Structure 1
């Protein structure tokens, strides 16, 4: 079991830049069964008022905006923030010629240094469960939202990736992979309760998807992306793990994996 200090240390190591994050994105991108991508679907849910002031917390490498670059309203003012300067540097690289359309700021969601009623829209895409004091962060988000403003928070449920979790655990129970603790921190099952401490109206919309994995390599990269905790998974052990996955694929043809993701839409009263 990893204590809170260890979790934060691991988090800083994992997200010093976007390499580990992208290993996880790639697994979902390659083997999803829903032909309509998560990034497009999330953007579909966001309503931009005229001259919208938008804040994304934990923006990572800005792939949400890159995937939807031609759909961003011309009059929107978007601030991309992350606790990692390395992530913001990668965001600029990913956005390329479009980087000047955005502003960037290193920010702690637990202490948003903006006045009350500053933003029309706040977005937290697959990150709110990382925040140690979520109650404070959610309160801060509500504070900086204008009246009638909306907070969009994506997350996953307890059953997300459960088959892959079981396969990895059966191979070696010491391998740290499971994202289940994050879902228990802020997931589909308990996110509404947490948001309602600061928002009166909260709606959950689910994204229908699953994975059908046919290649062991991306799974290996995915598990290794969880960082130094899995530093023993290299060399001979790494090859043995890959062989283990390949035997499963040879026997079953594919690994079918549950995906359980969605978005909470929380609106501040006018």
Structure 2
């Protein structure tokens, strides 16, 4: 038989006040399982499980409106998962900020002990700069941020073929080829096309992050044709004339020295081999930038305009210094949606200053994005792939 608790017993069991229990009832967050003939509330252990969820999500920073929308216990589990991932990133950013403050305190204390004058403005700048650098350095320790970006494109793009299937077709793979992918990330290009891979290929997936390559191994599974290597693309640890195809999918613009990287790519390519490198233009997803800057003009989603370093508008000229037959293939697509969570996840996955600014304004920002996308939100995509020859 079910055990029923009075409001007082239920509140004591959860270490909250009776007033809190009644408030959650009024807000339609937690209704009692039953009432007595006189109208008194009665709760069960199942209600206690729901209350635990509410208290946990409230502790993590979700508003009561957010919690109610999640329809705890029987609602959209993916929405709950996505929302938790957003909150986790905000918590991680808070931890990094605290670590930066602690480091600044230590530095200031050392300065004072040494009898030197403290430049307080410099110390404040150090906190902000360290936060930005840490955000960039931890961006690719695993694939969680990449997954947030991929999810927005995968679930809401108008082109149903999908970027990775389209890009795979452009590669024109042949049996027996030896392939190197630089900055392979979590291996999605291959994981989504495993049934299309010709026989006899040797595929080396590389990345500067060991954590990301671990994610790639998990995605692809135990396949004999795949090898994994951690290295910087500016110093490729393979002999001259090794590969039939080299791939750089949205990664060249991250390289500190693009000309040096391209010379390394050319060196390891066989004569007549192909180099496929994708990128985007300044028009790509500009609505996202417009959205956050309208909320707060101080938000910068990227410390560098990557398309200025290597984009659709200047890529052909850059590649022409080392390669021949440079051709640009455009991927026709756009994003349309009316949900805020995927947009927010994407924004928080960027490596700008947005998380430190939005950290204390998350509910306000979510309400703002909710309003902006409620009647539909269109995002321009201007992306493509250059294919050239050695």
Question: In the alignment, which of 204, 229, 232 is matched to residue 328 of structure 2?
Answer: 204
Contact 1:49 1:120 (C-alpha < 8 Å) held by counterparts: no
Question: In the alignment, which of 344, 352, 369 is matched to residue 220 of structure 1?
Answer: 344
Deviates more, 1:222-231 or 1:50-59: 222-231
Supply the distance in 2 between the matched residues of 1:122 and 1:211 (Cα, whole angstroms): 29
Q: Deviations over 1:140-167 (max 9, x none)?
A: 1011100010000011111001122111
The normalised TM-score by structure 1 is 0.91
Contact 2:285 2:381 (C-alpha < 8 Å) held by counterparts: yes
Deviation of 1:239 after TM superposition, in Å, equals 1.3
Contact 1:126 1:153 (C-alpha < 8 Å) held by counterparts: yes
Q: Rate the CA distance shift 1:263–1:7 in 2: closer, same or farther, 3 A.
A: farther
Give the equivalent residue in structure 1 for 2:238: 114
Structure index of larger Rg:
2
Question: In the alignment, which of 202, 207, 230 is matched to residue 77 of structure 1?
Answer: 202
SS at match of 1:231: helix
Contact 2:158 2:336 (C-alpha < 8 Å) held by counterparts: yes
Deviation of 1:9 after TM superposition, in Å, equals 5.2
Higher relative contact order (CA 8 A, sep 6+): 1
Q: Rate the CA distance shift 1:214–1:179 in 2: closer, same or farther, 3 A.
A: farther
Deviation of 1:116 after TM superposition, in Å, equals 1.0
Q: Extract unaligned runs of 5+ from structure 2.
A: 1-128
Q: Extract unaligned runs of 5+ from structure 1.
A: none
Give the equivalent residue in structure 1 for 2:273: 149
Deviation of 1:201 after TM superposition, in Å, equals 1.5
Q: Rate the CA distance shift 1:195–1:235 in 2: closer, same or farther, 3 A.
A: closer
Q: Does 1:166 align with 2:286?
A: no
The normalised TM-score by structure 2 is 0.64
- Which structure is higher in strand share? 1
Give the equivalent residue in structure 2 for 1:258: 380
Q: CA RMSD in A?
A: 2.0
Q: Does 1:128 align with 2:263?
A: no
Deviating above 6 A after TM superposition, structure 1's stretches of 4 or more consecutive aligned residues are: 4-8
Deviation of 1:47 after TM superposition, in Å, equals 2.0
Supply the distance in 2 between the matched residues of 1:172 and 1:92 (Cα, whole angstroms): 39
Give the equivalent residue in structure 1 for 2:161: 36
